[in-house]
Amino acid sequence: MHNFKNLKVWQKSVDLAVKIYQATADFPSEEKFGLTSQMRRAGVSIPSNIAEGTAKSSSKSFSNSLEISLGESFELETQLIIAERVNLISSEKANLIESDIAEIQKMITGLKSSLTL
């Protein structure tokens, strides 16, 4: 069992979730139940699933939680691309967030690979 707060990938994922909240704060109110909600949920799910995985009793269960977290990161990446294409977020801001997502995806994959199943 890991202390999730000490995991760099968890820390970076929490930072990403905060960035998503900040970025979507400027979205129009008609997106409140659309992309705003979806992006925020996906952003929060990434570190949440990492944290949940640390409480699992086996490496296989932890690996499954990391896989869910990885899936959420790809979902968020897709939503970010859509938000950029419909001009809800600037290309500059989207590129910065996309870079953070890519780094987190690599970190999750690395952590997953390090587990002995």
Look up residue 28 and give its DSSP letter: -
Structure tokens at 85: 């294409």
In the chain, domain spans: 4-114
Query: In percent, how much of the chain has pLDDT > 90?
Result: 88
Average pLDDT over residues 88-117: 94
How far lies 25's CA from each of 9, 11, 21, 60, 92, in Å?
A: 24, 22, 6, 37, 16
Taking a C-beta distance cutoff of 8 angstroms, is the pair 77, 98 a contact?
Answer: yes
Reported CATH class of domain 4-114 = mainly alpha
Report whether pLDDT(2) > 70.
no
Packed helices 59-85 and 91-114: angle between N→C axes, nearest 10 degrees: 170
Q: What is the pTM of this model?
A: 0.94
